[in-house]
């Protein structure tokens, strides 16, 4: 009886202990099984472009958020947790600036390929400021809308080539792994968007883009080992089988 009571007390005590936290790498701040130190540059890459990332507060809790990797890989990248861009977030005086976001009917955007022919890349004395909004697409739209009063008049809206809202979005390298579904064609993660942009506007853009994309690919590869296989829903299977039967009957 005493042994049974002791066992019960021991079990209760164990249950009351807080769950063990995963050990984090002291350099890249990621869990040890998915540490990325082997692909991150030993010292942050120097970048002439000033990067200002406005990250929605909710994104800091997302396991696949790529913004921290930008701060680890690039020397000149600042992240601010906010729901919108405020005037005091900007350097004084405000340099020539662009912000990355897909176009809308009321706010057209210059594509990266078109950006090459604009005067924005001809500034030699004042580095360009690149503003990025890091959030889910729903929150990012709200953030951009709330920031338009500050952005208007000094920043040019820029988007990646290939943005098409009529095409279903993919994911981070969807040929390799589905991690986060994007809303429409041309949408990518924050890290990839910045990498592509720097590939155009930085003097050593090819090198910078190659390093950043390499980090993203390795993150995706490591994350793949911790995804559980998802079985298709029974209802979906039945519907699919029923559709196949109808098509077979029609052909017959």
Mean pLDDT of the chain: 77
Three-state DSSP state, 213: helix
Per-residue pLDDT in tens (0 to 9) along the chain, 252 residues = 555 555 555 555 545 555 566 788 998 989 999 999 999 999 999 999 999 999 999 987 777 788 999 999 999 999 999 999 999 999 887 788 999 998 888 888 999 888 877 766 665 567 889 999 999 888 999 999 999 999 988 899 998 886 544 444 444 444 444 454 444 445 678 898 999 999 989 989 999 999 999 998 898 888 877 765 544 445 444 554 555 555 444 444
Look up tokens 């993660």; give the residue.
Answer: 189
Q: Give Cα separations from 190 to 3, 214, 243 (angstroms).
A: 57, 14, 39
Q: How far apart are CA 138 and CA 117, in angstroms?
A: 31
The strand pairing partners of 44, in sequence order, are none
- Dihedral angle sign, alpha carbons of residues 91, 95, 101, 106: positive
Q: How far apart are CA 240 and CA 250, in angstroms?
A: 15
pLDDT in tens, 120-134: 666 556 788 999 999
Q: How far apart are CA 133 and CA 165, in angstroms?
A: 19
For the chain, the first-to-last Cα distance in angstroms comes to: 74
pLDDT in tens, 167-179: 444 444 444 444 5
Q: What is the pLDDT of residue 107?
A: 87
The strand pairing partners of 50, in sequence order, are 129
Q: How far apart are CA 216 and CA 201, in angstroms?
A: 20
């Amino acid at each position: 009886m005493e042994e049974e009571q002791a066992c019960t007390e021991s079990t209760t005590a164990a249950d009351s202990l807080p769950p063990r936290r995963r050990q984090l790498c002291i350099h890249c701040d990621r869990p040890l099984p998915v540490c990325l130190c082997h692909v991150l540059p030993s010292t942050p890459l120097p970048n002439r472009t000033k990067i200002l990332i406005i990250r929605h507060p909710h994104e800091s809790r997302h396991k696949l958020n790529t913004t921290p990797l930008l701060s680890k890989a690039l020397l000149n990248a600042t992240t601010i947790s906010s729901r919108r861009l405020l005037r005091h977030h900007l350097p004084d005086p405000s340099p020539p600036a662009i912000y990355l976001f897909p176009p809308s009917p009321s706010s057209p955007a210059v594509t990266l390929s078109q950006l090459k022919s604009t005067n924005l890349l001809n500034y030699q004395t004042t580095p360009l400021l690149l503003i990025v909004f890091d959030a889910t697409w729903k929150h990012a739209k709200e953030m951009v809308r709330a920031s338009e009063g500050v952005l208007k008049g000094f920043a040019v809206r820029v988007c990646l080539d290939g943005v098409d809202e009529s095409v279903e979005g993919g994911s981070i390298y969807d040929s390799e792994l589905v991690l986060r579904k994007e809303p429409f064609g041309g949408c990518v993660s924050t890290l990839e968007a910045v990498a592509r942009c720097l590939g155009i506007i930085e003097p050593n853009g090819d090198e910078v883009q190659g390093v950043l994309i390499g980090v993203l690919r390795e993150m995706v590869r490591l994350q793949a080992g911790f995804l559980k296989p998802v079985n298709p829903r029974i209802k979906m299977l039945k519907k699919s089988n029923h559709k196949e039967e109808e098509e077979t009957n029609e052909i017959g």
